[in-house]
């Protein structure tokens, strides 16, 4: 990696780190002050969220041109699912999905539920770890704490994030169906039918094979990077 590529990756990842730090700060602040008002939370975080998530398209390009050592298919899968959630569900639907939750249960007086708040927390925390790691990696050897977080935080963050994403889709489906959003019925002039409600269900079903694939890939990477001090050092040198 030459100095220009290194400088670019440091800048790119640092900017995205700051963008997600802003998303997290707004999320925590609004959730604390407004006691979980999802509609207000989304209005406050909408712009930085859209910018931060859309900028991830560049990661697919980075992978495709060999600027980073990540499989294009895995990178594209992750980016595409996030973009769809933002631009295909949260932004156009909004409504009740911003304030509703899926309740998982209660333990010791604490309620466990999935909603917009859990989605934003899972996304922002995982991206802070990821972009922070990539920025440091572009500079040279990565501190062990950053390395450990990069290959350990996903164990919790991935399941929570995916469950929250599917929760948003589940809550959005009734509104998408009732409003006829992006529905084109036949017969029509171009002899083409399209039902976004059905497309959302089909995309959601792809999470069934997708999550194990991504999770298994990350577990293998974790074993490779954290499997031992010597293995970690060799892996870091190979990745740089």
For 1, 32, 45, the CA distances from 17, given in Å and listed in that order, are: 21, 22, 15
Out of 158, 196, 207, 217, the active site residue is 158
Question: Residue 239's pLDDT band (boundaries 50, 70, 90)?
Answer: very low
DSSP for residue 184: E
Predicted local confidence at residue 228, as pLDDT:
58
Out of 59, 127, 131, 165, the active site residue is 165
Question: Residue 194's pLDDT band (boundaries 50, 70, 90)?
Answer: confident
Which of 172, 215, 209, 193 has its CA nearest to residue 85?
A: 172
Q: What is the end-to-end Cα distance of the chain in Å, rounded?
A: 8
Question: Residue 185's pLDDT band (boundaries 50, 70, 90)?
Answer: confident
Identify whether 196 is a catalytic site residue.
no
> Ranked by mean pLDDT, which of 19-23, 70-74, 107-111 comes out on top?
19-23
Question: Residue 240's pLDDT band (boundaries 50, 70, 90)?
Answer: very low
What is the overall mean pLDDT for the chain? 88
Identify whether 197 is a catalytic site residue.
no
Question: pTM score, two decimals?
Answer: 0.88
Lowest mean pLDDT among 52-56, 73-77, 102-106: 102-106
């Amino acid at each position: 990696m030459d100095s220009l590529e290194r400088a670019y990756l440091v800048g790119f990842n640092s900017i995205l780190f700051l963008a997600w730090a802003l998303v997290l700060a707004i999320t925590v602040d609004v959730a604390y002050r407004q006691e979980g008002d999802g509609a207000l939370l989304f209005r406050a975080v909408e712009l930085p969220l859209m910018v931060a998530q859309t900028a991830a398209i560049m990661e697919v390009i980075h992978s495709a041109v060999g600027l980073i050592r990540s499989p294009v298919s895995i990178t594209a899968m992750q980016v595409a699912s996030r973009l769809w959630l933002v631009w295909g569900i949260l932004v156009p639907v909004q409504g009740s999905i911003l304030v509703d939750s899926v309740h998982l249960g209660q333990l010791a007086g604490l309620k466990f539920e999935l909603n917009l708040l859990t989605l934003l927390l899972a996304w922002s925390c995982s991206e802070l770890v990821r972009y922070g790691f990539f920025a440091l990696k572009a500079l040279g050897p990565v501190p062990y704490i950053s390395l450990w977080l990069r290959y350990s935080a996903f164990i919790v963050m991935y399941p929570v994030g995916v469950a929250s994403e599917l929760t948003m889709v589940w809550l959005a489906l009734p509104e998408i169906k009732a409003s006829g959003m992006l529905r084109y019925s036949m017969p029509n002039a171009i002899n083409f039918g399209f039902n976004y409600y059905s497309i959302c269900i089909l995309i959601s079903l792809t999470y069934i094979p997708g999550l194990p694939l991504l999770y298994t890939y990350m577990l293998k990477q974790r074993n490779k990077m954290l499997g031992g001090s010597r293995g970690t050092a060799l892996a870091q040198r190979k990745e740089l």
